Chains A and B, each alone.
Chain A
Amino acid sequence: MIGLSHYLILSGLLFAIGLVGILRRKNLLMLFFATEVMLNAANVAFAATSHYYGDLTGQMFAFFIIAIAASEVAIGLGLLIVLYKKTGTLDLDNLATMKG
């Protein structure tokens, strides 16, 4: 029987994968994907707990997150394209204009 804890473990694993992606990846596009993974990890957790408690608020929240993720991708990818056109690269090591 698949219980709540399985979902939460899956969510945790997904989140960890996303986090590692954020920390280790150097390509901005990949970072984007990693963030999406983390957001979806949260979605899974929300949906699972919502089901567990029989409270729809969590699932509503998941929808909100999906909406936000979508808009974020729309704007973010647009920005990335502009950045790529300007600099010719999406490698983070080459983008250090804010060096202190």
Chain B
Amino acid sequence: MEKYLYIALFAPLASSLFAALFGMSPKKMFVGVIASILLGISFLASVVLALYVNQTGEGIHVTMMEWIGAGDLLVPFGFLVDQVSVTMMVVVTLVSTVVHIYSIGYMDHDKSFNRFFSYLSAFVFSMLVLVMSDNFAGLFIGWEGVGVCSWLLIGFWYHKPDVSVEENPSISPSWAANEAFIVNRIADLGMLVGIFILFWNTGSLQYDVVFAQIPHLSEAVLVAAATALFIGAMGKSAQFPLHTWLTDAMEGPTPVSALIHAATMVTAGVFLVIRANPIFMVTPDVSYFIAALGTFVAFFAASMALVNRDLKRIIAYSTLSQLGYMFAAAGLGAYWIALFHLAAHAFFKALLFLGAGNVMHAMHDELDIFKMGGLKKSMRWTYIYMGVASLALAGIPPLAGFFSKDAIIETAFNEGRLILWAILVLTAGMTAFYSFRQVFLTFEGDRRYEEFGIHPHEMYKFVLIAMAPLAILAVIAGFFQSAFHSFITQLLPNYEMSAHTHHLVWILGAIVLAFAVGGIALAWIKYSKGLKRSEKVENGFLYKLLKNQYYIPKFYADFISKPYAMISELLWKSVDMKIVDATVDGIARLLYNGGDSARKMQTGNLSNNLNWMGVGLVSLLLVATITALIG
């Protein structure tokens, strides 16, 4: 089985290196094809591993070689395939394979076609390292690796110039890429600190060793470690207040958004909490904070999605919101439900993004949904895909989202966190509304694009076929809930609803469903017949607040970036040059000037010299006398 592990892990790396060979040459179709095939192989190997783990019920653990060894620290390249990581592997490789095939069509006309595949496969490799590592340092390799790939891919169209914030909230792809990297680095520091805490208290970074030590650790240590690790998770999963980079990351090509910023990388934070669940289980305060923050983000992001006009940004907000759901579940102890939602979300969200990519492709990179409408005629399949994905996202039975999201909301109720429950239910309604607002504005109503002279066309056939697995999974993934439950709880702690909740499950489900259907209905009434804009609403305070993302990006720009630049400038020009360096030069100048004035003694006049000699004589005598008197 180890063979399959290495195939699954290294096929994407091989793909990336192969594509990199042609990175600077013009488009070569075979690069995309071979990359997709290698990713497919990786997927198949992951499936084989999943079946094996399912059959035997035990994981595969290999240690490839030693990485860092110094003092007492010993970090190997070790890989662990157990129920959790194999789930992630299957999800990651499946979505990646689809996205790779999709990209052959989507990046069709891009001159950097080969480079794109190199980055994309490198990302998959990093992500697999992240999920498969058997220790925290290995996880950190993947953690940073996906960060870099994300940086490369967001900034893929690096040649675009910077524009003002009013014109494009993300300024430029390269700006958005840097923002994403730097914000993630802030969180990574937290993650590193978590790693340090664990190392100095357990003497190892291996998951099994660390988790075995937990009963011997003091509560303060555990709380510190859990907090630090969660700060790391907040960055990668774009939780408040480190969330701004995710929407800006939409500057990247759409397949990237589908793969990295919806299905896989952003869920790494959730994965970390699930992976390190023994730590979080014994720190209920931190866990509750995670749940509360997750719920807040779910609502907060959904509210911003309500008014946004950018096709991709709406989906990005919804990703943010769903990540909030996952954290809520993980924070409440329902780790398997979080993982289930993670997987289901990956399928329908990737599908949604890829559908959005089709629309962009058809609309010549136009993203404003106010300029679309009535696309259902020309893009029937895309409409169906996006409709299915949105239904799944809204949680309409029997689609995947219903099972997974409903379980999270139920968990909140079951834990007695009624406020969280209420917010999550409300958010479910908002989710349904903004998803279908987007779908209806894009596909229904009048054809507003015509005035811009665009002639939309459906995506290539093979791309549509490649998207089908995601669509099917978005529909049927929910039916595997109980199978998944029994599979995953071999490793993760079980979480069952209490009898009381079980009793009420129909009512709870009905409430959520009512909100979801209500949201869709509202969207249908408002937007299916075309776009009706109201000046009054759009100039209202709330609308503006939401539209400007609660002014948080502006706040960051005005109170962090600009002061930082100003202080840096000040430190350089005033402190470094005018104080530190000037002091050094001042001492030098003092010596120089001292020498210069002392030089005047050398008049060359013997009489003066003799006078100075006399002075020297007298002072030496004085010194001698004084020392004689003292000593």
Binding site for B on A (CB under 8 A): 19, 22-23, 25-26, 28, 31, 92-93, 95-100
Asked if B594 CB lies within 8 Å of chain A CBs, one says no
Binds A, one of B33-41, B189-197, B604-612: B604-612
Smallest Cβ distance from A58 to chain B, in angstroms?
22
Asked if B599 CB lies within 8 Å of chain A CBs, one says yes
Asked if B602 CB lies within 8 Å of chain A CBs, one says yes
- 10 A-B pairs in the complex with CB atoms less than 8 angstroms apart: A22-B610, A26-B607, A28-B606, A31-B606, A31-B610, A92-B605, A93-B605, A95-B604, A96-B604, A99-B603
Residue in A closest to B606 when the chains form the complex, CB atoms? A92
Q: Are A95 and B606 in contact (CB under 8 A)?
A: yes
**Bound Cα distance A26, B611 (Å):** 11
Known: A19-B614, A23-B614, A100-B599. A93 touches B604 (CB 8 A): no
Q: Are A23 and B604 in contact (CB under 8 A)?
A: no
Residue in A closest to B609 when the chains form the complex, CB atoms? A98
**B599, B601, B607, B614: the one within 8 Å of A25 (CB):** B607
Residue in A closest to B612 when the chains form the complex, CB atoms? A23
**Bound Cα distance A23, B600 (Å):** 18
Q: Are A100 and B602 in contact (CB under 8 A)?
A: yes
**Bound Cα distance A100, B604 (Å):** 7
Smallest CB-CB A-B distances: 10 pairs: A100-B602, A99-B604, A96-B604, A98-B604, A92-B607, A92-B606, A96-B605, A100-B599, A23-B614, A22-B610
Known: A92-B605, A98-B604. A23 touches B599 (CB 8 A): no
Smallest Cβ distance from B602 to chain A, in angstroms?
3
Smallest Cβ distance from B612 to chain A, in angstroms?
10
**Bound Cα distance A28, B602 (Å):** 18
**Bound Cα distance A99, B605 (Å):** 7
Interface centre among B604, B607, B610 (most CB of A within 10 A): B607
Q: Which residues of B contact A19 (CB under 8 A)?
A: 614
Smallest Cβ distance from B625 to chain A, in angstroms?
15
Q: Are A23 and B605 in contact (CB under 8 A)?
A: no
Smallest Cβ distance from B320 to chain A, in angstroms?
77
**Bound Cα distance A92, B604 (Å):** 9
**Bound Cα distance A17, B610 (Å):** 14
Smallest Cβ distance from A18 to chain B, in angstroms?
11
Smallest Cβ distance from B384 to chain A, in angstroms?
97
Q: Which residues of B contact A93 (CB under 8 A)?
A: 605, 607
**Bound Cα distance A96, B614 (Å):** 19
Q: Are A96 and B610 in contact (CB under 8 A)?
A: no
Smallest Cβ distance from A50 to chain B, in angstroms?
24
Q: Which residues of A contact B610 (CB under 8 A)?
A: 22-23, 31
Q: Which residues of B contact A95 (CB under 8 A)?
A: 604-606
Q: Which residues of B contact A100 (CB under 8 A)?
A: 599-604
Q: Which residues of B contact A23 (CB under 8 A)?
A: 607, 610-611, 614
4 more A-B residue pairs beyond the given contacts A92-B606, A96-B603, A100-B602, with a C-beta to C-beta distance below 8 A: A22-B610, A22-B614, A28-B606, A100-B603
Q: Are B611 and A99 in contact (CB under 8 A)?
A: no
Interface centre among B599, B600, B606 (most CB of A within 10 A): B606
**Bound Cα distance A100, B596 (Å):** 10
Smallest Cβ distance from B493 to chain A, in angstroms?
88
**Bound Cα distance A28, B599 (Å):** 24
Q: Which residues of B contact A99 (CB under 8 A)?
A: 602-605
Residue in A closest to B602 when the chains form the complex, CB atoms? A100
Residue in A closest to B600 when the chains form the complex, CB atoms? A100
**Bound Cα distance A22, B607 (Å):** 7
Question: Which chain B residues numbered 596 to 631 have a C-beta less than 8 Å away from chain A?
Answer: 599-607, 610-611, 614
Residue in A closest to B617 when the chains form the complex, CB atoms? A19
Smallest Cβ distance from B603 to chain A, in angstroms?
6
Q: Which residues of A contact B600 (CB under 8 A)?
A: 100
Q: Which residues of B contact A26 (CB under 8 A)?
A: 607
Residue in B closest to A92 when the chains form the complex, CB atoms? B607
Q: Which residues of B contact A92 (CB under 8 A)?
A: 605-607
Q: Are A98 and B602 in contact (CB under 8 A)?
A: yes
**Bound Cα distance A31, B605 (Å):** 13
Smallest Cβ distance from B360 to chain A, in angstroms?
81
**Bound Cα distance A25, B601 (Å):** 18
Residue in B closest to A25 when the chains form the complex, CB atoms? B607
Question: Which chain B residues numbered 560 to 606 have a C-beta less than 8 Å away from chain A?
Answer: 599-606
Q: Which residues of B contact A97 (CB under 8 A)?
A: 604
**Bound Cα distance A28, B610 (Å):** 12
**Bound Cα distance A72, B601 (Å):** 28
Smallest Cβ distance from A33 to chain B, in angstroms?
14
Q: Which residues of A contact B614 (CB under 8 A)?
A: 19, 22-23
Residue in B closest to A95 when the chains form the complex, CB atoms? B606
**Bound Cα distance A78, B605 (Å):** 21
**Bound Cα distance A70, B297 (Å):** 107
Q: Which residues of B contact A31 (CB under 8 A)?
A: 606, 610
**Bound Cα distance A96, B602 (Å):** 9
**Bound Cα distance A92, B609 (Å):** 11
Q: Which residues of A contact B603 (CB under 8 A)?
A: 96, 99-100
Q: Which residues of A contact B604 (CB under 8 A)?
A: 95-100
**Bound Cα distance A96, B607 (Å):** 10
Residue in B closest to A98 when the chains form the complex, CB atoms? B604
**Bound Cα distance A23, B601 (Å):** 15
Residue in B closest to A94 when the chains form the complex, CB atoms? B605
**Bound Cα distance A23, B607 (Å):** 6
**Bound Cα distance A22, B611 (Å):** 8
Smallest Cβ distance from A82 to chain B, in angstroms?
16
Smallest Cβ distance from B622 to chain A, in angstroms?
16
**Bound Cα distance A97, B604 (Å):** 6
Smallest Cβ distance from A59 to chain B, in angstroms?
27
Interface string of B300-333 (1 = CB under 8 A from A): 0000000000000000000000000000000000
**Bound Cα distance A11, B218 (Å):** 90
Q: Which residues of A contact B606 (CB under 8 A)?
A: 28, 31, 92, 95
